[in-house]
Amino acid sequence: MKRDSRKENRKVDGSSSAVDSTAQEPTAQTAFASYAAPLVNEAIAHANAVREDPSPEALHKLRVSLRRLRSLWWAFAPLLEKGENTRQRALYKYLATAAGKTRDWDIVIQLLTQDDSGVRSGMRDLAPKLEEARGNALATSRETLSNADVKHLLREALTSASKDINTTHERVPLRKFASKRVAASERSLMKRAKRARHARRSNYAAFHDVRKAGKKLRYLLEFFQPVLSGSHKRTLKRLKQVQKRFGTLNDIVASEMLLHDNAALLAGSGDSEAVLHWLHKERKRRMRSAAGLLRKL
């Protein structure tokens, strides 16, 4: 009887705490700033670091933080005024692109200096031109980011979005909201993966869409994992695999395009044709690898 009584008391206590936790469950509106503010601070810190640190890592961190902000704004889009949300996401894309112009040269240099297929041995004449192009791009990136006043823009975007979200009358439980947005992102990924599976092998845009959709879903799972039901470790592991394989493909395609677009800069170098030929072969190989992974999604 005492044991049963203790069980009953535990049931009552448990139900009471469940009611309390439900009553105290945060809403998507109140939680927004707790997600957005740290990301904004992080992006500002990385933007400041780029002014002093010319390394590839500094630019990469800035791009990632801006991509994560763009994904978060996408997640909260149903609670934001459509036009304002579109403008703010475009802002994050613009800033990431500014940093990306230098990052693209970093990728070219890294690819060609780490290659063991014979191209690396012929880099002696080409390397100084690539480094010069990278230096010019860095100066432009820094000037663009400085003129944009990143700190002011991001703080203003956060204030505006927070105000917009918290003026809505209907409150949505965070758990329910997060589940719906993750599900929407997952459907988007599956739709793009299906399209890429049926696309021509030369249709890189379809593969690139899969990469972007996978990255967005990964960021959302990382944001909302604490409030989502069930474990998403396997999904995150698979998404990281997609991101890695499709990312290496993107590096090759972007590098090939960058060198083609700057053919005049590289004119006179006996190695440029060999480099482009190697990149073309690598693109085909990595497209096959990405296509193989697509079939497992």
Q: What is the pLDDT of residues 19-61, one digit of tens each?
A: 334 457 899 999 999 999 999 999 999 999 988 888 888 888 9
> pTM value?
0.84
Q: How far is CA 296 from CA 26, 98, 293, in A?
A: 37, 35, 5
Name the packing angle between helices 56-75 and 174-197 (round to 10°).
Answer: 110
169 is written with which tokens?
Answer: 């009358």
- Whole-angstrom distance, CA of residue 256 vs CA of residue 249: 11
Residues 139 and 195 in one domain: no
Q: What single DSSP character describes residue 241? A: H
Q: How high is the pLDDT of residue 194? A: 93
Residues 178 and 63 in one domain: no
Percent of the chain scored above 90 by pLDDT?
54
Asked whether the predicted pLDDT for residue 241 surpasses 70, the reply is yes
**Residue at which a domain ends, from 148, 172, 196:** 172
Residues 194 and 284 in one domain: yes
Q: Would you say 151 and 7 are in contact if contact means Cβ atoms under 8 Å apart?
A: no
pLDDT mean over 1-14: 41
Query: Residue 157: which CATH number?
Result: 1.40.20.10
Residues 114 and 225 in one domain: no
Residues 76 and 151 in one domain: yes
Q: How high is the pLDDT of residue 17? A: 35
- Whole-angstrom distance, CA of residue 212 vs CA of residue 200: 19
Burial annotation 188-222 (CB, 10 A radius, 16+ → b, else e): bbeebbeebeebeeeebebbbbbbbbbbbbbbbbe
Domain that holds residue 275: 173-297
Let me know if residue 13 belongs to a domain: no
Going by C-alpha positions, the residue among 255, 273, 280 that lies closest to residue 133 is 255
Instruction: Provide the domain count of the chain.
Output: 2
CB atoms within 10 A of CB 256: 19
Q: pLDDT band at residue 276, thresholds of 50, 70 and 90? A: confident
Amino acid symbol at 281: K
- Whole-angstrom distance, CA of residue 141 vs CA of residue 103: 10
Going by C-alpha positions, the residue among 132, 97, 127, 133 that lies closest to residue 110 is 127
**Residue at which a domain ends, from 131, 150, 172:** 172
Q: Would you say 132 and 164 are in contact if contact means Cβ atoms under 8 Å apart?
A: no
- Whole-angstrom distance, CA of residue 280 vs CA of residue 155: 43
Residues 230 and 263 in one domain: yes
Asked whether the predicted pLDDT for residue 211 surpasses 50, the reply is yes
Q: What is the pLDDT of residues 58-100, one digit of tens each?
A: 888 999 999 999 999 999 999 999 888 899 999 999 999 988 8
Question: Which of 125-134, 144-153, 204-213 has the lowest average pLDDT?
Answer: 125-134
Let me know if residue 24 belongs to a domain: no
